Structure 1
Amino acid sequence: MNEQEIREALEEWEKLSVSPENRYAYEMRLKWLRDQLSNLLGERRAGLEEGLKKGREEGVRQVALEMLRAGLDHEMIMSVTKLSREELNELAKKTLDD
């Protein structure tokens, strides 16, 4: 393309980009894309938070199991891990089964 053709193409592009219909379509598409990105980032963040929560819960249970195996007092284990008596009893039962 020569310089004149490039200038004409740019002028035509500018005319198209300022037409109300094209501008509206562009803005709606841009909004949709931004919404999609926001949704993806939000879901990724929620998934990460859920994974971290599950990981912490599993870590607390593992620590409680080790404390049970070491023969520590149930009251102390509940105090440290913040597990309920029922949860600790389930873990104790699991320790006996292993």
Structure 2
Amino acid sequence: MIEIEQDGGFTVPAEVIGEGLKIDAADVQALLKAGAIATSSEAGVGDDFGTFRLTFSTRHRRLRLVVDALGDVVSRSVLDFGSEPLPPGTRRPGAV
């Protein structure tokens, strides 16, 4: 479960991010601080109102979580380019 903060931020367990990006959960916080993991969040509009899309990406892999207003994950997707870098648009918020 994802914790939704009062200020509109999110707390995502390192284990969830690590599993999705294939990195050790113990390394997640340091990689986030170093900028090696890019993050973005978007609030749903229209039919998606009440949901949030959280994106975490490294040079080669992207994890996208869609969570509801309670913080439950309603969908999860991973884009993995193996040893190749992610295409330019895949690290931007909203990129498919």
Please give the range of the TM-score, normalised by the shorter of the 2 chains.
under 0.3
| Structure of greater relative contact order (alpha carbons < 8 Å, 6+ residues apart) | 2
* Higher helix fraction (1 or 2): 1
- Normalised to the residue count of structure 1, the TM-score between the two structures is 0.19
